[in-house]
Structure 1
């Protein structure tokens, strides 16, 4: 995805793209398509960076996704908002961990552990 294209998108369009990418990631994991997942990961990173670069750090717009029906969307939105909504995003990670549906539960546990041990500092 070209950076210029993301720069032209509205915040709402970026959030919609974020959701679409997370859902595609979920499908890629389901079919063990690591190449596809990695390409989608890069696209999601670009969307997050674009939201972060906008006035006031608009990653906060991802918070409503904490209630999305897709667990990958919940996970990725919680991870993306750790720096802007730390308590709320950690609560989502804990919920995912407690629910124990893989692979999201394992990813959530890993991030919670990294945060507790100081190996990851949200930016």
Structure 2
């Protein structure tokens, strides 16, 4: 991905890029390209940080992705919104876990477990 000036982008543009990143992460996992996945993870975190820093914490805009067809996009959105919408985000994580869709179901299950035991504290 080319270098983006996140602070100059509208929220809907950030959401669009966030979706693209999730789709690319999904493919990277399917192809066992972990270094590519990790690079994309860093890009995803930058978008989340930009949205969080905006007035009113614009990560709420990611909640529209709970219904997105790609499982990685849904997992990313649910995780990113846990701090601002804990109940719907957790429900989404539980739905992903219950789907059994690897590896996202396993990741969602781990997040739920870590929430329950207190080792994961969303910010």
Match of 1:80 in 2: 80
Superposed, 1:6-85 pairs within 5 Å as 6-85=6-85
What's the TM-score, normalizing by structure 2? 0.97
User: Does structure 1 residue 121 correspond to structure 2 residue 121?
Assistant: yes
CA RMSD in angstroms comes to 1.0
Q: List, as ranges, runs of 4+ consecutive aligned residues in structure 1 with deviation greater than 4 Å.
A: none
Instruction: Report the Cα offset of residue 24 of structure 1.
Output: 0.3
Match of 1:102 in 2: 102
Structure 2's unaligned 5+ residue stretches are: none
What's the TM-score, normalizing by structure 1? 0.97
Structure 1 Cα separation of the partners of residues 97 and 37 of structure 2 = 21
The C-alpha deviation readout for 1:18-48, integer Å capped at 9, x for no partner, is 0000000000001001111111000000000
Instruction: Report the Cα offset of residue 2 of structure 1.
Output: 5.0
Instruction: Report the Cα offset of residue 10 of structure 1.
Output: 0.4
The C-alpha deviation readout for 1:74-108, integer Å capped at 9, x for no partner, is 00000000001000000000001111010000000
